[in-house]
Structure 1
Amino acid sequence: MIQYNPKDWIIFIFRFHESDTFRKLTPMMLLIGLYAGGVAYLELEYWKLADSSHVKNLSLIHTTVGFVLSLLLAYRTNTAYDRWWEGRKFWGSLVNNSRNLAIKLSAYLSDENDLDFFRKIIPTYASVLSKHLMNEEVSKMLFEGLDLEIDHHEHHPNQIAQKIFQKANELYRAGTISGDQFFIINEELKSFTDICGACERIKNTPIPYSYSAFIKKFIFFYVMTLPFGFVFNLGYYVVPVVVFIFYVLASLELIAEEIEDPFGSDMNDLPTPKIAANIKKHVEELL
């Protein structure tokens, strides 16, 4: 995730980072510019259409359709950001629940072996969940110091959550913690799987294909028809105008595509490995 100062306007304007939409759209912008220039040449130099030509009235259609397109893009961007922010809230809940569980266990347990087990396995769940959402392989180094055997063909976070609950249940059966204490920590134990399921829902349920495809087609045909009507008023200046309009509209769609799946490795995705590292630091301090 990109770290930045939201008050530094100069850097925003002149900095082109790796995920900047200008870089991604540059080839297409060049093609759109050549296309707009070709249309302008044909209408002004080759066909020599008069200002009274009905083609000039196409700009009226763009005014009406542009309003509809702006509503669609606004809805698309808001929906994508909602998914990003929802994912961040779930990982915030994971941080808080990990801390709460560690705080309660630090008060309930006195045996160093039990404390050491939870000191290692609680951060392990966050690390495994992060890699699970990013479709990365879970390294065996994550389990160093723990008696864990992970089946890489099965759901990784569920296996860690199962180990945590089994250990808590063993402590209850052995009388190390009371039934009331077990009930109190059960909410945190349960929340781990709830958070995992919610994150998987975001990751595995993208925006419907037909909706996303329609917006892309809408932007393409809208931009491709712009030069025909605008060339009468702008002349060859239609080239930078059309390129700029394409850049604005396509950038909004690209941004929405990037943030609608917040658990990847893109520059604007959630820093889940960093959050997992913070959980490890906090749990070790508490236990």
Structure 2
Amino acid sequence: MIVRPRMHWLRMLFVWRGSVVPRILPRLGFFLALACLAVATGPHPFNLREGPLGLLGVALAIFLGFRNSTAYDRFWEARKLWGSLMIVSRSFMRQALTHPSPALSLEERREVTDLLRALAVSLNHQLRGTSVPLDALDSGVRERVVAAEHRPARVVLGLAEWVARLRHQGRLGEVLVTSFDDNLDRLSEVLGGCERIAGTPIPYVYSVMLHRTVYLYILLLPFALTGSLGWSTPLVSVFVAYTFIALDTVTAELEDPFGTEPNDLPLDAMTRAIERSVMDLAGEPLPPPLLPDKDFVLT
């Protein structure tokens, strides 16, 4: 995610990092050359007018807006799910530290802390398809998590087993157990919601149809504008191409909010924030927070 101070409007015009321009610059160069060729070789034998292409452009803009809205809804829902993970982790830790009677021992406190940390870490790496670095966790928690195929669900099971153990010891009443179970259910909902977003992309047919229409429209546009704009055609064509291609590219990034593109969610930073939150409640030394790099990217 791009995290940077608010910029002056003039500087905003020349922002490079996070603007998707580096990714689409070769394509813009191609369409600039095509527009120059269209002007240099005109007039053309086929009679292509601005009117029909203008109607197609309006329809295309509406379709792009629909897809962009759908992609952003996925991005924002993913962010809300990770916000819920933070809230429930804090709530579970607070209950664990205050409700059992007698109070938790140092080992028991460390166990629940490690489980909550492992939940955020394992969910992060499952969504991104990377290996789980759990070396900093307690060996018992690490062994249970690494051995599981579905690691986040296994961590939730470990939390449920921790609650059940305290219940069998007579340290939690039925009302308190129900409260813990409610938080465990909310954790399961977070896992399911994240898996639904990660495993169900926007239907492929939308991407294919939109991609084809965008590029066909941009290919035809210079030939329709040549007669009325002359050598201004390349400038107008490239600007329109930038608008449509950039929207298409940004939508593709937001569609998968758990990826590693500059505009995706900063899962590493949010995972570290959850770790720091539960460790702070437990009174343990905190790891440093993750900050944006020199390019203002927070991973």
Report the secondary structure of 2:201's partner residue. coil
TM-score by length of 1: 0.91
* Contiguous gaps of at least 5 residues in structure 2: 283-299
Letter in 2 for 1:41: A
2:82 corresponding residue in structure 1: 91
Alignment of 1:249-260 (within 5 A): 249-260=244-255
2:113 corresponding residue in structure 1: 119
- Candidates 49, 55, 62, aligned match of 2:47: 55
Structure possessing the higher radius of gyration over alpha carbons: 1
2:71 corresponding residue in structure 1: 80
Report the secondary structure of 1:283's partner residue. helix
Report the secondary structure of 2:55's partner residue. helix
1:14 corresponding residue in structure 2: 14
Letter in 2 for 1:186: D
Q: Which deviations, in whole Å up to 9, do the C-alpha atoms of 1:231-260 show, x marking residues without a partner?
A: 011112211211111111000010010011
1:128 corresponding residue in structure 2: 122
Does structure 1 residue 34 correspond to structure 2 residue 28? Answer: no
- Candidates 128, 132, 152, aligned match of 1:138: 132
Alignment of 1:237-248 (within 5 A): 237-248=232-243
2:168 corresponding residue in structure 1: 173
1:2 corresponding residue in structure 2: 2
Letter in 2 for 1:5: P
CA, structure 1 residues 152+265, in 2 after alignment: closer, same or farther (shift >3 Å)? Answer: farther
State the percentage of identical aligned residues.
26
Aligned length: 278
2:231 corresponding residue in structure 1: 236
2:24 corresponding residue in structure 1: 25
Deviation at residue 106 of structure 1 after TM alignment: 1.1
Alignment of 1:144-159 (within 5 A): 144-149=138-143, 150-152=145-147, 154-159=149-154
Report the secondary structure of 1:226's partner residue. helix
1:263 corresponding residue in structure 2: 258
RMSD, aligned α-carbons: 1.7
Deviation at residue 152 of structure 1 after TM alignment: 4.9
CA, structure 1 residues 255+166, in 2 after alignment: closer, same or farther (shift >3 Å)? Answer: same
Deviation at residue 145 of structure 1 after TM alignment: 4.7
Does structure 1 residue 208 correspond to structure 2 residue 203? Answer: yes
* Contiguous gaps of at least 5 residues in structure 1: none
Letter in 2 for 1:116: R
Q: Which deviations, in whole Å up to 9, do the C-alpha atoms of 1:196-224 show, x marking residues without a partner?
A: 11011111111111111111111111111
| Of 145-154 and 125-134, the range deviating more from structure 2 | 145-154
Counterpart CA distance in 1 for 2:245 and 2:91 is 44
Counterpart CA distance in 1 for 2:10 and 2:112 is 47
Q: Which deviations, in whole Å up to 9, do the C-alpha atoms of 1:122-164 show, x marking residues without a partner?
A: 1211111111111111124143354442345611111111111
Between the two structures, name the one with larger relative contact order (CA 8 Å, sep ≥ 6). 1
Counterpart CA distance in 2 for 1:265 and 1:116 is 31
Does structure 1 residue 68 correspond to structure 2 residue 67? Answer: no
Counterpart CA distance in 2 for 1:174 and 1:152 is 28
- Candidates 194, 203, 206, aligned match of 1:199: 194
Letter in 1 for 2:62: L
Letter in 2 for 1:77: N
